[in-house]
Amino acid sequence: MGDFDNTKRAIGVGKLDDSQRKDMFNKFKSAGGEVIKEKTPPKEDDSKKSRPEPKIRQSTVSRGSDEGRSGSRGGSGSSGNNSKQDSNSLKSQADSKAQYEKEISSFAARFSIKLKCWLARVTSFGSSDLTPKFMHDFSIRGKQALIELQYSGNELLANQQYSPQLSKALDRINPLLVELLAMGQKLYNGPELTDITEPIMTAPESPVAIERVKTQIYSLFKRMYILYPYQETLKKSFSQAYDELQKLEGKPSLIYANKKRKVLQEIDTLFDGFFDRLYLVVIRAENKNIPLVSRYMENLLGITPEEKPGQRKSGENVPGGKPVETKEEKDAEAAAKEEEKKEEEEVPLSKEHAYGLRLMQMYSIPKLRKKFDPKNEYANIPDADKALLALFYFYEFDDEYSFVMTTKKIDIKPGSINGVKVDYRQKMLDIYESTRTIIDQFRIYHDILRELEKHKANPGANYIEASKKLTGIEQKRTGQSRTVRMAIKEFSLKSRDSLLTLIKDMKGKKEIVANMNDVLTLDSMESRKRLNKKPVKQCIMEAYCYLLALHDRIEAGDLYGGLVELTPEQMKASFGVDSETAKETGSPDASDLENDTQTESNGKTKENPAEEVKSAELTDEQTNDSLDDLSDDDILPTGNPF
């Protein structure tokens, strides 16, 4: 009894509430404990022991309880042993993994990685940045090899006439051949390659931070890693496919022999020339000396068994192959494009914007060249060049409308903003002075084009060096074209905002422009301008409309973007691609907007007088609606349009 009481005191039974006692009771019972009664005093025990029946009964109970206890202890022991074994195995796996991580990321391993990358000229020894030499090599030879594989894959798998028969013929040999062709075709990813090569194109002589292209290189390396064990089978796939294509097309064998030789050569370029270096990029980025063929590398790249070759059966669809478009799909795609085009055309333009675009369309490209390049200094620049077109439109503003910002015949009074005096005339003069930057930047652009022309005429004997130099010059051209357009956009934005201030005042307080209703008569030297003998308010509005349209075309229109030239679709939409005159292209000529030069226009021969009269009436109506009635609320955008 004393031991039992001591035990109770030791575990603090008296301090436990009912719920805690119940929990402790369940724990003891689940661990094999047994419910027993407290012992009676010794005299009672002796009397009970003298009785045989309770003795026998007690011995029977004790045997059962012993067996139960032993069974329960045995069961708990076996489950405990299993859990201990599992925990031990998990612990050993974690320990081995930690030990492996420690080995591949040790000082010796990291030193080995740096040395390998330095010897392969992938990175320098002390930096993880990718060298310009490696990036240039990849952007030229690596990209060319990937494009060749995609081209060959499309020719074999996306040929609507022969691809089904070709696939059946290859499936009779081995379904793996078609699957590998599709995977080889899938190696090329245009946006991904652009992201990889863009940094070196932007700065040809600067190293590329490995983190900047890490994701894209990992993705490409993953696709190549899957095909790495199947290089010879991949070559066999292309060779066999071109043999079968020759049987179907019946053309001379020399054609297919050249195609086979080229694609096999590019496969060697990829896997013998670039695969190992891409592997070095991966381990340099991870800073771990990961074995090339290992489960660790597969887990790092996220390769699943379903992505590996061998999943396709004969007759199944080609995984990753370019599907053959049916006639219905092509018709649906064409209809969708037409709907998108209609939606784009239905976007409403403001009055000022529409009128400004009409002013810009007065001259075709040949007429712009004749007017602003009479000496043919820019003959080597194509008509679709965005920088040249932007410059010509700037020259047009400078020639016809810029006097609004500089002439003293417009009486512009000083104003005040928040109590600060503002000289609007001087402000516009300062803006106009910045136009010198535009001319200087375009001269630099023209020099780059001359350099590009000379290099194309005499590239040199070394193909690699010539390609690198050509890429560098083209990149310089792209950057300088953007600089020229941005300078014109900045000028048009500042000038537009200044004229908008005058227009708002003419519509409201009428404090800044004192002679807004006077007819502006220019001197003899400037009398040829379109705005001669027109009201001051109309001159300011037309200049504003022109700047609004010019800024919009450079900001988000056809003169915007990374391409240095307009696409054929843009040329057709803006000017007409098969014509040399404004009448042939359908673009409105200067006479369409000239309402006060009837003498000159009557002197010229008109092919369709009725259309000319109709166009003149429409122009007069639009001009009167948009410009003369400055009290109309529709003329100015509501609120702050910019």
- 271 or 618: which leads in pLDDT: 271
Span 536-554, pLDDT tens digits: 889 999 999 999 999 999 9
C-beta separation of 267 from 227 below 8 A:
no
Reply yes or no on whether the pLDDT at 255 is more than 60. yes
d(CA 229, CA 238): 16
Two structure tokens written together for 127? 């930096």
AA identity, residue 582: A
Q: Find the range with the poorest average confidence among 89-103, 199-213, 216-230, 551-565.
A: 89-103
Instruction: Domain count for the chain, please give it.
Output: 3
* Average pLDDT taken over every residue of the chain: 76
In a domain, 300, yes or no: yes
Residues 6+ apart with CB under 8 A from 63: none
Whether residue 526 sits in one domain with residue 455:
yes
**pLDDT attached to residue 492:** 92
Indicate whether 327 belongs to any domain.
no
For every residue of 107-172, DSSP letters joined together read: HHHHHHHHHHHHHTTSB-SS--SBPHHHHHHIIIIIHHHHHHHHHHHHHHHS-TTTHHHHHHHHHH
Cβ partners under 8 Å of residue 503, min gap 6: 540, 541, 544, 630, 636
pLDDT in tens, 4-13: 666 677 666 6
Kindly report, residue by residue over 582-623, the tens digit of the pLDDT.
333 333 343 343 443 333 334 433 334 334 333 433 344 444
| Local confidence band at 422 (pLDDT 50, 70, 90 cut-offs) | confident
- Shared domain for 503 and 563, answered yes or no, is yes
The percent of residues above 90 in pLDDT, for the chain, comes to: 12
536/565 Cα distance (integer angstroms): 37
CA distance 166 to 245: 7
47 and 138 share a domain?
A: no
Q: Is residue 626 part of a domain?
A: no
Strand ranges (E), 427-484? none
496 three-class SS:
helix
Residue 71 lies in a domain: yes
Residues 437 and 356 in one domain: yes
Task: Decide if pLDDT at 54 tops 60.
Answer: no
pLDDT value for 81: 57
pLDDT, tens digit, for every residue of 103-121?
Answer: 888 888 888 889 988 998 8
Shared domain for 179 and 266, answered yes or no, is yes
**What average pLDDT score do residues 37-45 get?**
49
Q: Is position 1 within any domain?
A: no
Q: Say if 108 falls within a structural domain.
A: no
- pLDDT on residue 578: 45
Sorting pLDDT into bands at 50, 70 and 90, what band is 66? Answer: very low
pLDDT reported for residue 591: 36
Return the higher-pLDDT residue of 451 and 641. Answer: 451
Q: Is it the case that residue 83 has pLDDT exceeding 70? A: no
**Does residue 493 share a domain with residue 446?**
yes
Is 631 inside a domain boundary? Answer: no
Q: Which tokens hold the place of 486?
A: 């941005």
Are 95 and 127 in a shared domain? no
My answer on whether 251 and 400 are in the same domain is no
Whether the full predicted model's pTM is greater than 0.95, yes or no, is no
Q: What range defines the domain where residue 273 resides?
A: 115-321
